[in-house]
Structure 1
Amino acid sequence: MYILPVTSNPNQTFTSTIPVDSGSIRFNFFLRYNTESGCWVLDILDSSNNGLVSGINLVTGVNLLEQYSYLKLGSLRLIKVDTSLTDDLPTEYNLGTSFVIVWGDTV
């Protein structure tokens, strides 16, 4: 498992090399908070900035990459680490602290 280095800063871009299965894949990310819908949205791009997956709403309880399993990108989950919270969705202020994004192997 790999924890993406995210914060609650709006409109963040970052690059990470993610261990997937027995190799590593370098991805570029664009993460933003959609104030109208009240959720975080993630875009995943390859190392050449070609879009792989766009507009993933970050929600807990599911593999966010399951419908894209044919791409063999691995698995992606939003995990609530602050159990004192009653809400299962991160606000614009607590992503990266109360909630983390975890990347894992393909399932």
Structure 2
Amino acid sequence: MATTVLPIATGMNQTFTCTLPVDNKNITLDFALTYNTPGGYWFMSLTDHITGELLIDSLPLLPGEYPSANILRQYSYLGIGSALIFSVSGDNSTPTFESLGKDHLLIWSDNIS
């Protein structure tokens, strides 16, 4: 099972393109990460890089515990893999504006059956 830590710059809203290994093939997605200041959380939108189709819009980047740790579980029909928010300290806290990409990592992996 391949896992990838997404290349997130700490402390800034951002967009980037990333090619990810999912189920022994590569998929390329465009990411838009935005911090919701009033709510105090990050959210993510994903677009298929090849077709330009918006796949997921405004998905909150909130940690969870097994079995709900996979933030893409409700989108499994898309076949774009699984993802979770990993707290380096192990405290399962919500990423802050300054901590995503440093103390909280977004980890991508194969589809979970």
Output the amino acid matched with 1:94: S
The equivalent residue for 1:31 is 33
**Aligned partner (choices 77, 87, 91) of residue 84 of structure 2:** 77
Task: Give the number of aligned pairs.
Answer: 105
Q: Distance in 2 between matches of 1:81 and 1:56?
A: 21
Q: Distance in 2 between matches of 1:105 and 1:87?
A: 22
Q: Does 1:55 align with 2:58?
A: yes
* The 10-residue stretch of structure 1 (87-96 or 35-44) with the greater mean CA deviation from structure 2: 87-96
In the TM superposition, residue 7 of structure 1 has moved relative to its aligned partner by 1.9
The equivalent residue for 2:106 is 101
Output the amino acid matched with 2:44: L
In the TM superposition, residue 87 of structure 1 has moved relative to its aligned partner by 6.5
RMSD, aligned CA: 1.3
In the TM superposition, residue 11 of structure 1 has moved relative to its aligned partner by 2.4
Contact 2:86 2:92 in 1 (8 A): no
Question: How high is the TM-score relative to the length of structure 2?
Answer: 0.87
The equivalent residue for 2:75 is 68
Instruction: For residue 70 of structure 1, give the secondary structure of its aligned residue in structure 2.
Output: helix
Contact 2:11 2:99 in 1 (8 A): no
Output the amino acid matched with 1:14: F
The unaligned stretches of length 5 or more in structure 2 are none
The unaligned stretches of length 5 or more in structure 1 are none
- Superposed, 1:6-45 pairs within 5 Å as 6-45=8-47
Q: Distance in 2 between matches of 1:49 and 1:33?
A: 23
Residues 48-72 of structure 1: per-residue CA shift (max 9 Å, x gap)? 4320011110111211110011111
Q: Distance in 2 between matches of 1:49 and 1:32?
A: 19
